[in-house]
Amino acid sequence: MLRLSPPDGLRLSQAHTFDAVYGGSEANVAVSLAQLGLKSAYLTRVPDNGLGRAALGAVARYGVNTDKCVLGGERMGVYFIEFGAGRRGTTVLYDRQNSAMATLSSGMIDWRSALENAPWLHWSGITPALSQSAADATLEALKMAKSLNIRVSCDLNYRDKLWKYGKTPDQVMPQLLQYTDVMLGDATAFELYFGIREPNDAALLKSVLAAFSQMTHVAMTNRQGHSASHNTYKGILYDAQNIYTSQTYDLPNMLDRIGGGDAFMAGLIFGLHPANTDLQEVIEFAVAAAALKHYIKGDYNLSSVEEVRALMAGNTGGRVSR
């Protein structure tokens, strides 16, 4: 997806230029994993034009394989984002109707050839929010993944400006999540998708995981928004046995919070693959990765394992390395 944002905190109506980056939840996870040193590949559909090629180049530049992506469709999905500051919040204007990804349908991607030899498939709840055919293609991929014994993770990624094609998430997501081992969500998504509400995070994660017998881990993030420039952030992980809660990061003077959740998701996959037995370290790593993302422009978390670990080890960011 092409993300267009007015520079320097301008509003849409003031902009004479737009900064352009290519991102999207799955792309962001793929880049983040590549930056953490894992081999990663991205599967998507983009139009066969300069924008589509630029989108693939954008992830290839950061080490992601795009060999199995397909070209086609009418247009690139676009979103405009007006970055806020202080008391003015950030707002998104989607323009992704009829995008190449929204018109993805079953049979377009050769999932078998794309997935064989892969140990892990990650998908986002945004894809089935776009259209019925995209939801169908997601199901197709998930079935193939399971038939190949691939581990599957999902970030629920609820967006209230999507889901416009006549279905609500609770009609679509539970079926897809039958094929998922590791799930990331938040309280809003859990309620809207599964009708589950609980008085605290631990109870919530327990109820949610109980609803999916095949699922091994469920995680959630908790963000407090003091202002558009200052948040706090933590993560919680449940493995059907214990609840692991990370430290809470104070995030002042944020540069770009888009992709924070994707950085968390990539950190989680990094920690669980191969199975890491220290789940406290897993959740701490995922949250530290997400914290760094807030200080990197664009959608991608361009942080190395060493940088994430330095933050976990107490580096405040206040020292110049020279």
Return the residues of window 131-160 that contact a copy of itself according to CB under 8 A: 159-160
Q: Among 21, 204, 218, 265, which residue sits at the site for a copy of itself (rule: CB under 8 A)? A: 21
* Peptide bond between residue 274 and the one before it cis (omega within 30 degrees of 0): yes
Least distance from a copy of itself to the Cβ atom of residue 275, Å: 28
Return the residues of window 64-103 that contact a copy of itself according to CB under 8 A: 74-76, 78, 80, 82, 84-95, 97-98
Return the residues of window 168-187 that contact a copy of itself according to CB under 8 A: none
- Tell me if residue 142 falls in helix, strand or coil: helix
Least distance from a copy of itself to the Cβ atom of residue 145, Å: 26
Which lies closer to a copy of itself via its Cβ, residue 91 or residue 171?
91
Which lies closer to a copy of itself via its Cβ, residue 260 or residue 271?
260
165 binds a copy of itself (CB under 8 A): no
Question: Which residues neighbour 98 within 8 Å (Cβ) at sequence distance 6 or greater?
Answer: 74, 75
Least distance from a copy of itself to the Cβ atom of residue 180, Å: 23
**Type of residue at 223:** R
Residue with tokens 């202002």: 227
Which lies closer to a copy of itself via its Cβ, residue 150 or residue 220?
220
Rounded Cα distance, 60 and 96, in Å: 23
Strands 2-5 and 78-82, by their bridges, are parallel
Output the six-digit token pair for 84: 């806020």
Least distance from a copy of itself to the Cβ atom of residue 141, Å: 24
Output the six-digit token pair for 226: 């003091």
Rounded Cα distance, 24 and 94, in Å: 12
Rounded Cα distance, 295 and 283, in Å: 20
Q: Among 29, 43, 58, 196, which residue sits at the site for a copy of itself (rule: CB under 8 A)? A: 58
Return the residues of window 209-268 that contact a copy of itself according to CB under 8 A: 223-231, 249, 251-255, 257-258
320 binds a copy of itself (CB under 8 A): yes
Q: What is the CB neighbour count within 10 angstroms for residue 239?
A: 18
Which lies closer to a copy of itself via its Cβ, residue 62 or residue 212?
62
188 binds a copy of itself (CB under 8 A): no
- Tell me if residue 131 falls in helix, strand or coil: coil
315 binds a copy of itself (CB under 8 A): yes
Rounded Cα distance, 68 and 60, in Å: 12
Segment lying near a copy of itself (by CB under 8 A), choices 58-66, 136-144, 236-244, 273-281: 58-66
Q: Answer yes or no: are the C-beta atoms of 151 and 115 closer than 8 Å.
A: no
